[in-house]
Amino acid sequence: MGELAITVNGEPRRVPAPATLDDLLRHLGLDPRTVVVEHNRQIVRRPLLAGQALAPGDSVELVHFVGGG
């Protein structure tokens, strides 16, 4: 059981391997219902998060709604 080196929101991160996107959100303490996930520039719908495996070098963006005009 090693670690995966990935990029999350532009920052390098290491997560315990193997990991899915759902695992990543849990690792980061995020509720999947409150974020939208983009994996290597592709949006991943919530029901598919648990089935999508992370690979070394992957890039993940986690976004949500903030105040704006």
Partner 1 sequence: MPETLQAAGPVLDTPLVIGEQPFRSRLMVGTGKYRSNADMVRAIEASGADVVTVAVRRVDLDRTKEEGVLHHLSPDQYFLLANTAGCYSADEAVRYARLAREAGFNDFVKLEVIGDRETLLPDVDGLLTAARELVRDGFKVLAYSNDDLVTALRLEDAGCAAVMPLASPIGSGLGLLNPFSIRTIKRRLHVPVIVDAGVGTASDACLTMEQGVDGILMNTALAEAQDPVTMAWAMRWAVDAGRAAFLAGRMPRREVAVPSSPARGMLE
User: Which positions lie near partner 1, rule CB under 8 A?
Assistant: 8-11, 28-30, 34-36, 38, 43, 45-46, 61-69
User: Residue for token digits 């193997």?
Assistant: 18
Shortest CB 53 distance to partner 1, Å: 20
Q: Which is nearer to partner 1, 2 or 33 (CB)?
A: 33
Mark residue 26 as left, alpha or beta (left: phi above 0; alpha: psi -120 to 50; beta: remaining).
alpha
Shortest CB 65 distance to partner 1, Å: 4
Which distant-in-sequence residues (6+ apart) come within 8 Å of 20 by Cβ? 49, 50, 51, 52, 53, 54
Q: Which is nearer to partner 1, 20 or 61 (CB)?
A: 61
